[in-house]
Amino acid sequence: MSVSRRELLAGACALGATELLSGHGEIASAAVESSQASSTPANSFSFVHLTDQHVTHRRHAPEGYRTCIESINALKPAPDFVLMGGDMVFDGGYTAKEDYENQIRLFREATKQLKYPWRPCMGNHDVLGWNPREKVGPSDPGYGKKMIMEALDWKEPYYSFDHKGWHFTVLDSAYPAKGKNGINQEPRLGAEQLEWLGYDLGAAGDRPKIAVIHVAVFCNVGQISGDPKHLAMDGSMVIWDTMELRKVLERHNVKLVLQGHSHRVEDTFWNGIWYVTGAAACGAWWAGSWTGSEPGYTVLRCEGDRVTWAHETFRWEPHLDPQDTLERKRIAEQQAERADQQRRRELERKSRRPLQS
């Protein structure tokens, strides 16, 4: 089911962006696809942004991820490829190594069912260790990014590629910083990667460009939750060198940045660039959707020098473990809020509040 669609046109920096929103989405999306079919450029294509799968042996997560893949495999038109958005496995930072290895194995086995080629992106939970609560130390041969990169035949943690005239850059927001007993992870790119990015985008010239990152450049969790104490730059939800990155992206006219990490759908437009946060494939870690967005992914279509996108969902019921007391509480709170909203809407539609004298 499609829940929203945006369109970014050439020259949007100066003229603004054209938006198409739909409450139900399916009718609007079908109309857009129909109107585009008659004038589709020969080099047009679609692809999927699939982020935050958090595959684990718990909560029937492998089954949920396979359901997600089945949904993607059924897409029409078929996407050319899938771009992962990071946090492919549940966690390597504070999880025992054997559990982390099993998560990678489960991810690989399920992803083999994907009909389309895919490319990885590093998430904070994809790293082994680099955490004050880590279960392994720097002496372990798989410490850091090495184990998952070797398992997935992944050559570089950040890289770029071209596809049908478009340039894609995949960034790595998991930065190693010195900790008390080893390495602690920080959400930033660092000077070396930023320098690489500038020259990479420069070499792409006037080709339309899309970047992918796990930890967001823009994130509005504090505003969404109405929490005045939740700062925009809270240390975990937005990369620390967000301004430095935005300057690079803006001077090279990047059209779109795909983000993950927050498990909430957000579309933010700033200085000519759309920052699109996709839904987590796992919803709330395969325990419902109480973070605010249903389990899903984003489908994007490139035509000429414009890109459109739709946030898609798939059906999945949570399977909680006996110890998931917090998750049960969050689900109950979400259900109560939805029931209250429904009650208030019906009341406000049926009656008119008298004007105050």
pLDDT in tens, 248-289: 999 999 999 999 999 999 999 999 999 999 999 999 999 999
Does position 353 have pLDDT exceeding 90, yes or no? Answer: no
The residue count of the chain comes to 357
Average pLDDT over residues 148-174: 97
79, two tokens? 């996407």
List b or e across 225-253, with b for residues whose CB sees 16 or more CB atoms inside 10 angstroms. eeeeeeeeeeeebbbbbbeebbebbeebb
- How far does Cα 249 stand from its chain's mean position? 18
Q: Report whether 116 contacts 80 (CB < 8 A).
A: yes
pLDDT of residue 27: 29
Does position 228 have pLDDT exceeding 90, yes or no? Answer: no
Backbone angles phi, psi at 262, to 5 degrees: -85, -15
pLDDT of residue 112: 97
Dihedral, CA of residue 211, residue 217, residue 221 and residue 227, to nearest 10: -170
pLDDT in tens, 83-129: 999 999 999 999 999 999 999 999 999 999 999 999 999 999 999 99
Does position 3 have pLDDT exceeding 50, yes or no? Answer: no
45, two tokens? 């294509």
pLDDT in tens, 305-335: 999 999 999 999 999 999 999 999 999 999 9
Does position 356 have pLDDT exceeding 90, yes or no? Answer: no
**Where do the domains of the chain lie?**
2-316
**pTM (predicted TM-score):** 0.87
Spatial neighbors of 308 by CB under 8 A, at least 6 apart, are: 5, 6, 7, 8, 32, 300, 301
In CATH, which of 3.40.50.2000, 3.60.21.10, 3.40.50.300, 3.30.365.10 is domain 2-316?
3.60.21.10
Look at the block and give the residue holding tokens 């002496």.
139
